[in-house]
Structure 1
Amino acid sequence: MIHWSIERKISSGFTVALLLLASIGGLACWSTKELISTAAWVEHTHKVLKKLETLRSQLSSAESQQRSFLITDNQQYLDAYYLNASTLNKQVNTIRELTGDNPVQQQHIQALEPLLKKRLTLLQQTLNIRRLKGFELAQQFIEQDVGRSANDDIGQIINAMVAQENRLLQIRSAKVKLTANFTMLVVGSGGILSFGLIPLAGTGINRHIKRQKQVEADLVNSEKKLKLWVGELEERNNEISQLAEFSDVLQACFTQDEAYAALSELVSPLFPNTSGGVFLISESKTLVEPVATWGDDYAYLNLFTPTECWALRRGRPYFLKDAQSHLHCQHLHPPLKGQTLCVPMMAQGEALGILQLIAFETEQLTLTKQLLANTVAEHIAIALANLKLRETLKNQSIRDPLTSLFNRRYMEESLEREVKRAERKGQALGLIMLDVDHFKRFNDTYGHVAGDIVLRELGQLFKSMIRGSDIACRYGGEEFILLLPEASLQITQLRAEQIRIGAKHLNLQHRRQPLGAVSLSLGVASFPRHGNTTETLIQAADAALYQAKATGRDLVVVAE
């Protein structure tokens, strides 16, 4: 049996300890490098996702600025459009470089480039038509909706690229966690083995163990920091996904009211444990009123004037860490507690309102949440501005600009729809065709400006004397048509008589001078009694109108 001396035991134990420590250190170093490398790839994925969202946002901004130029002919909108359009290719090139190692994403980029070029070409064609041929032809070109398929394809490709990056993010995040767990295993095993060799290694080994403990502590701290980093990255990824869903829902809304109804459910998950609201400046620019609110405390969410909010006055976000400070916004009435944040919503250089957040827990509105609030406010502003522009364009296409009544094209579409509905339900449909008596002579006497006043006042009279379901249209010149769904012939005739009398009592003035009274001749027809098609119904009412004029005017005549 071999007996080792104490010196040899210590020497052997020291050697073994060194070998073990060297092995553990190598493994720890390798796992740390793996953690750093994997975390870098996670950051790279987030960078690609951010560039994709920037590309989507810039394309949306370019389209919005192009529409604004079409309506206003303002050169600033055109300059902003060209600036946005010129950066799209740079964004695509950046994404191509970032995804150079991913063949799938490269295929997506190759498919995306011609679609972007096609979309920009269509936008430029619309601009050229607007500048060379005027707004109406440009509007007709827009209504053809030739760019929808390209827009849909672009959206699908970007969504596919985002999905691909999210899959990569999941894989890389899982690898970070696996590497972190391996690091903990290496560190834990090394500690146990090192402590087991203390009796053999003596004082020298003890010094090495102390050093190893420090290494272990550093590694544990690194692992904790990396876990915290991974958690933050996962939170950012969730926020990006929620923002994408947020933008998709807002872009799918058809009206501003529909967007208002969706805002509470869309915004509140992004800012848990907060109360808040979206406030818009009124058309008169004198009030700021809530259109969406969430949270438990609505006492702070009141109507106020734009000058009462520091964010609107300064044109940038206003964060108050201590709500009890005397520098809080005047629309936030004391007693206050926690933190407050007001973010102005800007679109095309104009303030639309604010996004307001109130947190009742300290450190709830972190810098990251404040930056997220800025992004959310920007998305809301762009979406609401686009919806407002869309509604303006729609009204311009179906309304008569002088009387604000529906135009002839809308009347023809509505009449065809109402005739089919009345036929399907077996109900009546009343139609009144009316004409201003001696309108040409009135124009010759008082001038065309006075004639426009008469037509405008008549339009207001018609709207005040019909139901919300009725349709008042300017048919052409001084002729008007009123559609009364579900109204019997007797009710339609009575309504025509009321309108005839009401017109005679209009107080018409031009430059503070009375214009005298006007009278109307009215022809009344009813579906299906006087016609079962749009053409025969209009012809019957027109014949009755002609008879009213031939009989002496200022008269209601029912079709035969």
Structure 2
Amino acid sequence: AYARSYAERVDSAARTIARVVEQTDDNPLQHARAQEIALLMKERSAFLLQPLNLARRGDFSGAVAVIASGRGRELMDAISVRAQGFLDEERALQSTRQDAAVQRLESGKRLAILGAIAVALVVVGSFALLVRAIRRPLATMMRAMTALGSGEQDARIDTAMGSREFARLAVGYNAMADRLRGAVADQGTSERQLQIVNTELEQNTKSLRERGEVIELLGGMAHRMQAARTDDELAQIIRVFVPQVLPDIPGALYAHNNSRNCLVPVASWGGITVPIEGFAPERCWALRRGQSHSVEDPSREIVCGHVAENEVYHCEPLLAGGEVIGVLYLQGRIGAENRFRMNVLTENIASALVNHRLQRSLREQTIRDPLTSLFNRRYMEETLKLEIARSLRAGSPLSLVMCDIDHFKRFNDEFGHDAGDSVLQMVAAEMRSRFRDGDVICRFGGEEFTIIAPGRNRATISMLAA
């Protein structure tokens, strides 16, 4: 989704700058500058695709390295500088054209007035007898010329002047006025087109800059999420970075708990509170449909069961390989630009949750005994060192219990290994029921078990172990 949105933005920017290049074909300097801006924008777009492609292939360190290189900001600065130079030159050209048009207008006015005066002198000197007949067409011409000099571009002279010479003069004047109006109209059209192109270019530049900043922010977030080792660390990263990616949009992140088959809250932001018990997957329409579910008018849409009535919200499912990973819940309406950010954000969060789940599973496999689900000997040795050091510092009691199952070998030989495994599992379950969650129950090896009980003295532990 992000790639399609990004490609549309890039294509829009490319078409815009292509029009700029085409429209500046009559100006070699500006044409060259427009081509240079187009090449920089193309290079900037290609550079922004690099971290996304690396991230999709799983090379997050490479993506972060590309972002951290600063090349993207250098390209953006280069585009901004050249775009500003291009605009400054266009404004200068516009001012020059306007001055030239004003000069032509003033020159035409002066010529028209001089011509009228010359005609009047010739008529007065040569045709004194026709003064009365000439006075009216001459006054008409003067009024038209004065109106044109005052800015009335539609001022024209009627060609039916009663004289062939005046008629030809009126035709010439009207043709001159038409050309002047055409020149002014062309100038206005060019100015409007330049303003439109300038606005589009500024909008596209701003959009690309903002998206570049979001990608850099998401790169830092993804790097930290991949390095998180505990649920609390992951929740802290979510609470810090998501409000920066989606400002002024409160929400919460839920992760799917396979053992309980429910969505449990991982983190929330924006001042909202969510129930710690979570909710079942079937209560969310986004998870049912496997796609986004937005409610902008609760009276005209189905509202999820985990959301309050009359609430405007958006649920985005987090899926990986067809498996439910979690759901991103956001309050309020999600605009077009925020949808782009949300799509990239959900991809990063889903990948991080899968990685976090795999890391936790691998860690459980390294510290747990697969048969009894108790901690193994390696974990017991590491924990015992830490608890002894903690007990010495705090001066608190620490108890250690070692026990085994009587006659286990004979039982195992007589009834078989499957029956022996069942006995080990039953003993492990009994130990877990007798001791606290803070006590560390380990399978030392074979039928031998070890319990580390911080804070318990000999009398208390003897009663439990009896």
Note if contact 1:28-1:183 (Cα within 8 Å) is conserved in structure 2: no
Structure 1 counterpart of 2:200: 225
Distance 2:463 2:274 in 1: 51
Instruction: Name the structure 1 match of 2:81.
Output: 174
Please list the CA deviations of residues 447-473 of structure 1 after superposition, one character each: whole Å capped at 9, or x if unmatched.
Answer: 443433332232233334334443221
Cα distance, 1:347 vs. partner?
Answer: 1.9
Alignment counterpart, residue 320 of structure 2, candidates 347, 350, 360: 347
CA contact (8 A) 1:318 1:342 kept: yes
Aligned to 2:462: 496
2:387 matched to 1:480? no
Residue matched to 1:529: none
Task: Give unmatched runs, 5+ long, in structure 1.
Answer: 1-23, 61-150, 501-560
Hey, what's the Cα distance between the residues in 2 that align with 1:227 and 1:376?
26
Over 3 Å counting, the alpha-carbon distance change for 1:46 and 1:399 in structure 2 is: same
Question: After the TM superposition, which residues 230-379 of structure 1 pair with which residues of structure 2 at under 5 Å, given as runs?
Answer: 230-284=205-259, 286-296=261-271, 303-320=278-295, 322-337=297-312, 340-360=313-333, 364-366=334-336, 368-379=337-348
Q: How far off is 1:412 after superposition?
A: 2.2
- Structure 1 residues 190 and 322: alpha-carbon distance in aligned structure 2, compared to 1, 3 A threshold: farther
Amino acid at match of 1:210: A
Percent identity of the aligned residues? Answer: 29
Q: Is the 8 A contact 2:377 2:442 kept in 1?
A: yes
CA distance in 1: counterparts of 2:316 and 2:35, whole angstroms:
36
Residues 233 and 467 (structure 1 numbering): CA distance in 2 closer, same or farther, change over 3 Å?
same
Show the counterpart of 2:367.
398
| TM superposition shift of 1:37 | 4.1
What is the 5 A alignment of 1:60-71?
A: 60=59
Q: Alpha carbons of 1:207 and 1:277: their partners in 2 closer, same or farther (altered >3 Å)? A: same
| Structure 1 counterpart of 2:58 | 59
Q: 1:476 to 1:297 in 2, by over 3 A?
A: closer
Distance 1:440 1:313 in 2: 52
Which residue of the other structure, out of 337, 341, 349, is the alignment partner of 1:380?
349
Cα distance in 2, alignment partners of residues 206 and 462 from structure 1: 100
Q: 1:305 to 1:280 in 2, by over 3 A?
A: same
TM-score for the superposition, normalised by structure 1: 0.60
Q: Distance in 2 between matches of 1:398 and 1:288?
A: 26
**SS of the residue 2:241 aligns to:** helix
Q: 1:167 to 1:350 in 2, by over 3 A?
A: same
Q: 1:398 to 1:320 in 2, by over 3 A?
A: same
**Other-structure match for 2:162:** none
8 Å CA contact 1:35, 1:180 repeated in 2: no
SS in 2 for 1:455: helix
Letter in 2 for 1:385: V
Alignment partner of 2:97 out of 190, 194, 208 = 190
Equivalent residue letter for 1:353: G
Q: 1:400 is matched by which residue type in structure 2?
A: D
**1:233 partner letter:** L
- 1:194-219 alpha-carbon deviations (Å, 9 max, x no partner): 23432324512232111111111111
After alignment, is 445-454 or 218-227 more displaced? Answer: 445-454
Give 1:335 shift.
Answer: 1.4
Q: TM-score, normalised by structure 2?
A: 0.71
C-alpha distance in structure 1 between counterparts of 2:432 and 2:287, whole Å: 38
- Matches of 1:302 and 1:422 in 2, distance apart? 35
Q: Does 2:439 align with 1:439?
A: no
Q: CA deviation at 1:268?
A: 1.8
CA contact (8 A) 1:46 1:237 kept: no
Q: Which has the larger radius of gyration?
A: 2
Over 3 Å counting, the alpha-carbon distance change for 1:435 and 1:301 in structure 2 is closer
Instruction: Report SS of the residue matched to 1:352.
Output: strand
Distance 1:396 1:365, change over 3 A: same
Structure 1 counterpart of 2:378, from 400, 404, 409? 409
Paired residue for 2:425, among 456, 481, 498? 456
In the other structure, the counterpart of 1:164 is 71
Q: Secondary structure at the match of 1:197?
A: helix
Tell me the alpha carbon deviations over residues 261-298 of structure 1, each in whole angstroms, 9 at most, x when there is no partner.
32122112212232222122232464323322223555
Q: Determine helix, strand or coil for the equivalent of 2:70.
A: helix
In structure 2, relative to structure 1, the CA distance for the partners of 1:25 and 1:191 (3 Å cut) is farther
> Is contact 2:401–2:450 with CA below 8 Å preserved after alignment?
yes
- Contact kept, 8 Å, 2:37 with 2:79, in 1: the verdict is yes
AA matched with 2:356: L
**How many residue pairs align between the two structures?**
376
Pair 1:285–1:484, CA change in 2 (3 A): closer
Shift in alpha-carbon separation, 1:43–1:465, aligned structure 2, 3 A: farther
